[in-house]
Amino acid sequence: MSPCATPPLTPRYRLPTRTSLPAELAGSRRELRFRKQHPVGPFVADFYCPAAKIVIEIDGAVHNERQDVDGRRDAYLRSLGLTVIRVPAAEVLADPEGVADGLYRLCESVAGPSTTQPDG
């Protein structure tokens, strides 16, 4: 392989992805559930906790350039009675377990500790 060639995408070359946060949220040993890539109207939320009515968005660098679009999206979601939480991707990559724990505690404080999950 030439020095300028792109290395193959083997596990040691793969960039970290959001999969660690879904694993932390899905693997939760608690009562609340989180939906990944959940459709809400014309948008798709990164994560959604139906019991707390909280949308969780993981923001990478591209979001710095599209704050106006994100603002309109957030306004739409809020008009549906949803709370939008934005988390920088760098925080998720640095500490997925800590971020998941904080998100869980936030959702639990809104929904209550023993909540039956609604369908919506």
- pLDDT digits 0-9 by tens, 61-104: 765 567 778 889 999 999 999 999 999 988 988 888 889 889 98
Domains of the chain: 20-111 (3.40.960.10)
Is the entire prediction scored with pTM above 0.85? no
Q: How confident is the model at residue 120 (pLDDT cuts 50, 70, 90)?
A: low
DSSP for 91-117, written as a single string: HHHH-HHHHHHHHHHHHHHHH-SS-PP
The closest of 52, 58, 59, 57 to 106, measured between CA atoms, is: 52
- pLDDT digits 0-9 by tens, 22-71: 666 766 556 788 888 999 999 999 999 999 999 999 988 765 567 778 88
Strand residues in 25-72 grouped as ranges (E): 35-40, 43-49, 54-59
